[in-house]
Structure 1
Amino acid sequence: MLTCPHPPPVTLVMDPHDDVTHTRAALAAHDPAHGRITVHPTPGTGSTLALAYDILAALGKPVPLTGYRTLDTQPAWTLCAAWILALPVTSLTVLRTHLLSPRALTDLLALRTRTGLHLALVCHQSNSTTLERALQCTDHVLADAEAVLSLRKATNTQEPHPAPPARPSRHWINLPSLNSLNCAYTTTPCSCRGPAPQVSRLDQRRIAQRLHAATAHPHLAAELATACFAAATTTQISGVCVADTAMDGTTLILLDRTQPYDPYVSHRVPHWAQVFLRAAAFTHYLTTARRSDPLFTDPLFTDPLGCTSLPRLTDFAEHC
């Protein structure tokens, strides 16, 4: 299972006067596209599950999660780690950490160990016994909020504030490659299994935006992304193992029995889809590390009855 043996030291940022300018500076630094996220924990709760949901929401994922037991915290924290590694996110700032429970702080420090990100904990009072105990056995440094959370640099420049991210368009995207999903022919070519047509750059951005916003489940997003760029059938998709994709998500091997000499065809994954394949693979590496497991299944799902509230791939595609 993935761990980072030498993550950067935790930065404990002291803001004893709870200066609003420091909070604004931390929130202004939030920029997932450049590897930085800031989390302002949900007021009134110090629960570890709520904190994991706050991190997923900061990553742009819909919460609460579906498909898991209500009080099971492991899936949420594992998905946080998978998306952080896949995007990638290298810096996480958490505000009001003096209000977090010891369990939430423990899970937060475990997230740092699993991902190797730089973690900054902002304490808005002069001291916190809970924080001190949590960091007793963790490499950390003290920092003053005025030094690390200052808006002076931003106010001294003439650069405009970044525009808020655009909401995903509701424009219908017609993808002929998805016609192959329900193809029953696995040994002979047929008209619905032609090569995947080129998708415009605008539609590529739209697909990526909608997949990011539609689900926090990496395997579901990666499965639909593969169907979009490879014109793969459900039979092909179900046969993909973790070992069939590169860890950086740049290549994917699909079994194609229509090829007479070598049925294992390597596909170059387009840039927009790579993050989803990385996240799906990291979910497995963080959980079981078995490279023979099916890639587009959820290793976190442990319901003995085998039922899930997640949609079928075709329904998910139509929703997106």
Structure 2
Amino acid sequence: MALVYGDMTIVVDEQDDLFYTRAALQAHRPEAGRITVQPTPASSSPAALAHDMLYALGKRLASGPNSPDIWLDSVKEAWLAAAAWTVATGVRHVVVTRAHLLTVRRIDQLLAWREAVGVQLTLLWQKAPRGMPPALARVERRISSRDQFEALLAEPGPIPACPSFPPVILATAGRAAGGARHFAAWPSRGAQPTSPGRRAHPCTSALATAQLSQPAPAIELASEGTAALAALAHPLIAGALSVLAFTQAGLGGLRLTRDLDITGDVCAIKLHGVGHRSCPLYAVPAWARPLLAGARAHHRLATHPPGDSVFAPLMLAEARHLRAHAERLPQLNLPLPDSLLVPLS
């Protein structure tokens, strides 16, 4: 059975056969581009299914009444975060178990998310299909045998996880940077080579700067710290804290970082000094690339232009969440002076 990305399949399991659930759980391989989502039963949170998606993607929300992840209680923010991580990590096939327990509203949320990220979606409907909502009843592709389900999961459709973004974004970025489609391949006129980590031509893209200078090496981090950062649920928080951790730069340098300041392969990032008197380029360590890819995907899915600051939402009212997460990770020793952040109280 040939599968095309973006397809939607409903697996009808009227007898609630344990085989289907077990096969779906065994198919969960994020590194191969496939995840299995298990909806939390009887959760009243409007964003519960998005939280389940984040959990399947390896993200963990901080708990507690004053949680720094409280902004992910918003349905829009939670699904945007789930979409960003899905795109950034290269997930192409998502299997959702016990879809018959989802409300119509959550099914609509799931279908809107699928449209945004273009994944192949498989739903396990583990009861008679008579009560299927219209949005699902119209789906033509249904299977109802073990062999068909095994074949579906065995297809090579899902690709290995890697950051990927539509080419149109790069074309848009080129126009915003000065009209040239391949803006980053050409250094600005008059720019001079610089030593590693030093300033290049003000406001050029990271890739243009990389043509002229070597990025400063990243500061090494213990595996405990990188694992904690990788588990953060919000892409902007994870991306911002990872940059602060491997550069030990001040928050001010991150404030003006644009989409254009992250190379396409996420191997280098450019920060900006006041008045662009010092705009250093840093190498991005391998562990941080998926986190920065998630932050950039979040920026693009929110339809921000490439010249806008990627981390701008953190620097205003939401800066308290950034600081709260930083305080939860003291082993990172992050340079976050209170004067640059909104007070927690």
One fold, TM greater than 0.5?
yes
Identical amino acids, percent of aligned pairs: 29
In structure 2, the partner of 1:167 is none
In structure 1, the partner of 2:189 is none
Structure 2 counterpart of 1:219, from 230, 233, 236:
236
In structure 1, the partner of 2:187 is none
In structure 2, the partner of 1:274 is 289
Matched residue of 1:311: which SS? Answer: helix
Matched residue of 1:267: which SS? Answer: strand
Q: Which structure exhibits the higher relative contact order, with contacts defined as CA atoms closer than 8 Å and separated by 6 or more residues?
A: 1
In structure 2, the partner of 1:228 is 245
Aligned counterparts of 2:21 and 2:105: Cα–Cα separation in 1? 24
Structure 2 segments unaligned to the other structure (5+ residues): 155-197, 200-215, 333-345
Shift of residue 118 of structure 1?
Answer: 0.8
Asked whether the 8 Å contact 1:249–1:278 carries over to 2, the reply is yes
Residue deviations 1:52-81 (CA, integer Å, cap 9, x gap): 111111112123674546863111111100
Aligned counterparts of 1:98 and 1:302: Cα–Cα separation in 2? 41
Aligned counterparts of 1:34 and 1:143: Cα–Cα separation in 2? 23
Asked whether the 8 Å contact 2:218–2:247 carries over to 1, the reply is no
Shift of residue 243 of structure 1?
Answer: 2.6
Shift of residue 146 of structure 1?
Answer: 0.5
Asked whether the 8 Å contact 2:12–2:143 carries over to 1, the reply is yes
- Kindly indicate whether residue 97 of structure 2 is the aligned counterpart of residue 82 of structure 1: no
In structure 1, the partner of 2:8 is 10
Structure 1 segments unaligned to the other structure (5+ residues): 1-5, 155-185, 188-194
- Kindly indicate whether residue 149 of structure 2 is the aligned counterpart of residue 118 of structure 1: no
Change (3 A) 1:30 1:48: farther
1:212 alignment partner AA: A
Aligned counterparts of 2:55 and 2:243: Cα–Cα separation in 1? 24
1:238 alignment partner AA: R
1:318 alignment partner AA: P
Structure 2 counterpart of 1:209, from 221, 227, 230:
227
TM-score of the superposed pair, with normalisation by structure 2: 0.66
Aligned counterparts of 1:284 and 1:38: Cα–Cα separation in 2? 25
Give the aligned length: 265
TM-score of the superposed pair, with normalisation by structure 1: 0.70
Residue deviations 1:108-133 (CA, integer Å, cap 9, x gap): 111111111110011112214334x0
In structure 1, the partner of 2:136 is 135
Matched residue of 2:289: which SS? Answer: helix
Aligned counterparts of 1:313 and 1:43: Cα–Cα separation in 2? 28
Change (3 A) 1:307 1:196: closer
Shift of residue 315 of structure 1?
Answer: 2.3
1:216 alignment partner AA: A
Aligned counterparts of 1:67 and 1:52: Cα–Cα separation in 2? 13
Matched residue of 1:17: which SS? Answer: coil
- Kindly indicate whether residue 146 of structure 2 is the aligned counterpart of residue 146 of structure 1: yes
Shift of residue 196 of structure 1?
Answer: 5.0
The root-mean-square deviation of aligned C-alpha atoms, in Å, is 3.5
Asked whether the 8 Å contact 2:219–2:245 carries over to 1, the reply is no
Residue deviations 1:174-223 (CA, integer Å, cap 9, x gap): xxxxxxxxxxxx99xxxxxxx656637xx3x444322122x212112111
Asked whether the 8 Å contact 2:10–2:141 carries over to 1, the reply is yes
Aligned counterparts of 1:15 and 1:46: Cα–Cα separation in 2? 26
Asked whether the 8 Å contact 1:196–1:231 carries over to 2, the reply is no
Aligned counterparts of 1:70 and 1:269: Cα–Cα separation in 2? 27
Aligned counterparts of 2:82 and 2:242: Cα–Cα separation in 1? 20
Shift of residue 232 of structure 1?
Answer: 2.2
Asked whether the 8 Å contact 2:218–2:284 carries over to 1, the reply is no
- Kindly indicate whether residue 296 of structure 2 is the aligned counterpart of residue 295 of structure 1: no
- Kindly indicate whether residue 254 of structure 2 is the aligned counterpart of residue 237 of structure 1: yes
Structure 1 counterpart of 2:323, from 308, 311, 319:
311
Change (3 A) 1:256 1:45: closer
